[in-house]
Amino acid sequence: DVKVTQSSRYLVKRTGEKVFLECVQDMDHENMFWYRQDPGLGLRLIYFSYDVKMKEKGDIPEGYSVSREKKERFSLILESASTNQTSMYLCASSSPGWVGETQYFGPGTRLLVL
């Protein structure tokens, strides 16, 4: 059974803290994605990676960075957390090579920045 796991379901951080969100997939997928989900805005792509050490900006990369040192792990980093980064963060993975590959999502991390 395919599985994408995220390190925390709930996280509370203070403004200015450095925050790490971890995502691990066990499907040997090349592509990994980070989205944030906000009410009324749907899912918006922050960053994605199509190979180890490779990354591309999504639609809303400002205030975020990512790291992909191993194929199965994709980390989202908030260098200095701000209250407007309070949100649900979803990680996904997919196999490459053709249009229309299914993205498999983790359960999400709900982040509250105080």
For position 22 contacting other proteins by CB under 8 A, the verdict is no
- Give 7's DSSP letter: S
Residues 63-92, mask of contacts with other proteins (x by CB under 8 A): ---------------------------x-x
Contact between 68 and 49 under an 8 Å Cβ cutoff? The reply is yes
Of 107, 97, 95, 105, nearest to 31 by C-alpha is: 95
Contact between 104 and 2 under an 8 Å Cβ cutoff? The reply is yes
Name beta bridge partners: 12: 112
Q: In this chain, which of 56, 64, 68, 76 binds other proteins, going by CB under 8 A?
A: 56
Of 23, 24, 25, 32, nearest to 101 by C-alpha is: 32
For position 61 contacting other proteins by CB under 8 A, the verdict is no
For position 44 contacting other proteins by CB under 8 A, the verdict is yes
Position 37, amino acid? Q
Q: In this chain, which of 12, 80, 96, 114 binds other proteins, going by CB under 8 A?
A: 96
Q: Put residue 97 in one of left, alpha, beta given phi > 0 → left and psi -120 to 50 → alpha.
A: left
Closer by beta carbon to other proteins, 87 or else 103: 103
Closer by beta carbon to other proteins, 17 or else 38: 38
Q: Which residues bind other proteins (CB under 8 A)?
A: 4, 31, 35, 40-45, 48, 50-51, 56, 58-59, 90, 92, 94, 96, 99-103, 105-108
